[in-house]
A and B are shown apart, each in its own frame.
Chain A
């Protein structure tokens, strides 16, 4: 061995000092990245725990199904929970068909050109409109111009305007993810373009489309500003807490949370707001999980393969 002959201690050429320095920087970077990732989880846990601690005491059967109270303590959020789902469903009924068809047109039919750019530009502009401005528009059109006053339908239509661009974008993305070979295969079998879209392309995109609906639904559940002026900040006192008339006022849970915290006369307003926040969070979670399960089933059904 060379070192034995020279009489010097053996030096491992892999442990030079500058290499050690670089290793240290590498370790620090790894720790920082890990800490950043952990803090995201930490904040989520902190947030959820806080909501549970604050809101759990407000939750009772009466709170979940009862009517809100105007002046006394002990009001519930029954109609608000129903309205949140009702407005969501109404909105999806308008949003999904229009945006999916528009997305299919842009992605599969419209060649590159003026018209496609115009639609794209309009959608992007629509997407950047703040929801409070959209709410004001809904107030002017549905509430005043149409004389509907505060209605579930007016709220749903306003939310449709708000969410159309997103859902259209999602559709375009989902369709662009479908391999061109499916189109070729279908056309080569003598299918028309519409048959190809309906039977080969849309079923293949069902997974991303479901994800898109879930994302949009989350936003609809949480939307407040666009609804205060359109669906209103009070519930209708009908025969039951569950009012299916789309022309009645329909305060959602998110709006209720805002209005109780902001202007309620009831002595337990803070308590009700905390409880509402917790219910809203749990509702969104349950909805997301259910929607994903449904999406999985649809994917399995349409593509014969688990996603």
Chain B
């Protein structure tokens, strides 16, 4: 576990702030009045049993719910003080600054190179020399460069699952977001690939704020500075990871940590 500089979240600069967040799927309320401060350049883990709303919460942070018919979000989510749900805000611009890595590796059926430069290209970078630089830099940052540098033009689908997931991280890094959201990024991977992803996440906090959903408490303990616990659509408790795992203040958190919920 990475030891935070200061154990109190409030002492760090807040990168994202969620206030009174409600998420509905049709009539069903999947997230109720959630409030959270996300400190800059730290790893925030979101934990809780299946169906607790942690992924729902995560997807509200870069307006992915806009793509789901019937989903509705109220409340506010700010990035550096700017509300991403304010009228007139372009969700496309929001997702440019807040990237996302999904549960299953989802590279495009294109070459490794084309996958990494997909984002820069759609944002208008056309210089091939510059794209090659971005590609190398992003793959290095995702700890994948040495494994693929000789076959950048080969299909991304030929890579192993773990390599594909690191490629997806490189693809996000290439658009230089400020925050990276990860939705159980290692749950489909074997233990070795998982540990590579975990090491990588530790590296990323040099430049990025990371918010990661995980179903593994061990993983949350290993990689995160702060942990938030969700249960049945409620945000129950947030604290430094060591506090949450050793002295949770809420009985429900304690029950979960000690294995009383699935």
A interface list, Cβ under 8 A from B: 111, 179, 181-192, 195, 199-200, 203-204, 302-305
For the complex of A and B, list the 10 residue pairs with the smallest distance between their C-beta atoms, beginning with the closest. A190-B96, A304-B155, A181-B106, A303-B109, A305-B155, A304-B111, A188-B100, A189-B119, A190-B95, A191-B122
Residues of A within 8 A of B92 (CB): 190-192
Main secondary structure on A side of the interface with B: helix
A203 touches B110 (CB 8 A): yes
Q: Taking each of A189, A199, A304, which has the highest tally of chain B beta carbons within 10 Å of its own beta carbon?
A: A189
30 of the cross-chain contacts (CB-CB < 8 Å) are A183-B67, A184-B102, A184-B106, A185-B107, A185-B168, A185-B171, A186-B108, A187-B64, A187-B95, A188-B95, A188-B172, A189-B95, A189-B96, A189-B171, A189-B172, A190-B93, A190-B123, A191-B122, A192-B92, A192-B122, A195-B122, A199-B121, A200-B108, A304-B109, A304-B110, A304-B153, A304-B154, A304-B155, A305-B155, A305-B157
B123 touches A182 (CB 8 A): no
B67 touches A184 (CB 8 A): yes
| Cβ of B202 to closest chain A Cβ, rounded Å | 22
CA distance A181 to B99 in the complex (A): 15
Chain B: residues with Cβ within 8 Å of the partner, total of 34
| Cβ of B47 to closest chain A Cβ, rounded Å | 22
Closest to A201 in B: B108
Residues of A within 8 A of B108 (CB): 182, 185-186, 200, 204
Residues of A within 8 A of B118 (CB): 186, 189, 191, 199-200
Chain B 67-95 interface mask (CB, 8 Å, partner A; 1/0): 10100000000000000000000001101
Closest to A189 in B: B119
Residues of A within 8 A of B110 (CB): 203, 302-304
Residues of A within 8 A of B102 (CB): 181, 184-185, 188
Residues of A within 8 A of B172 (CB): 188-189
B114: Cβ under 8 A from any A Cβ: yes
B109 touches A305 (CB 8 A): yes
Residues of A within 8 A of B157 (CB): 304-305
Closest to A206 in B: B109
| Cβ of A202 to closest chain B Cβ, rounded Å | 12
Chain B 150-174 interface mask (CB, 8 Å, partner A; 1/0): 0001111110000000001001100
CA distance A228 to B45 in the complex (A): 71
Q: Taking each of B92, B108, B157, which has the highest tally of chain A beta carbons within 10 Å of its own beta carbon?
A: B108
CA distance A190 to B108 in the complex (A): 15
20 extra interchain contacts, Cβ-Cβ under 8 A, other than A184-B102, A190-B92, A304-B156? A183-B67, A185-B107, A185-B108, A187-B67, A188-B99, A188-B102, A189-B95, A189-B96, A189-B99, A189-B118, A189-B119, A190-B93, A190-B175, A191-B118, A199-B122, A203-B110, A302-B109, A304-B111, A304-B114, A305-B109
| Cβ of A223 to closest chain B Cβ, rounded Å | 34
B15: Cβ under 8 A from any A Cβ: no
| Cβ of B72 to closest chain A Cβ, rounded Å | 15
Q: Taking each of A183, A195, A203, A304, which has the highest tally of chain B beta carbons within 10 Å of its own beta carbon?
A: A304
B62: Cβ under 8 A from any A Cβ: yes
CA distance A182 to B156 in the complex (A): 13
B104: Cβ under 8 A from any A Cβ: yes
B interface list, Cβ under 8 A from A: 62, 64, 67, 69, 92-93, 95-96, 99-100, 102, 104, 106-111, 114, 118-119, 121-123, 153-158, 168, 171-172, 175
Residues of A within 8 A of B114 (CB): 304
| Cβ of A177 to closest chain B Cβ, rounded Å | 12
Closest to B67 in A: A187
CA distance A179 to B175 in the complex (A): 23
Residues of A within 8 A of B158 (CB): 305
| Cβ of A75 to closest chain B Cβ, rounded Å | 51
Residues of B within 8 A of A200 (CB): 108, 118
CA distance A191 to B93 in the complex (A): 9
Select one of A181, A190, A302 contacting B119, CB under 8 A.
Answer: A190
| Cβ of A194 to closest chain B Cβ, rounded Å | 10
CA distance A302 to B92 in the complex (A): 24
Closest to A305 in B: B155
CA distance A192 to B94 in the complex (A): 12
Residues of A within 8 A of B168 (CB): 185
CA distance A199 to B110 in the complex (A): 10
Q: Taking each of B95, B106, B158, which has the highest tally of chain A beta carbons within 10 Å of its own beta carbon?
A: B106
Select one of B93, B109, B122, B156 contacting A189, CB under 8 A.
Answer: B122
| Cβ of A299 to closest chain B Cβ, rounded Å | 9
CA distance A295 to B32 in the complex (A): 50
Closest to B119 in A: A189
| Cβ of A174 to closest chain B Cβ, rounded Å | 13
| Cβ of B183 to closest chain A Cβ, rounded Å | 10
CA distance A204 to B118 in the complex (A): 14
Residues of B within 8 A of A186 (CB): 108, 118, 122
| Cβ of B208 to closest chain A Cβ, rounded Å | 15
CA distance A185 to B102 in the complex (A): 8
Residues of A within 8 A of B171 (CB): 185, 189
CA distance A186 to B110 in the complex (A): 13
B119 touches A204 (CB 8 A): no
A303 touches B96 (CB 8 A): no
Closest to A306 in B: B155
| Cβ of B56 to closest chain A Cβ, rounded Å | 15
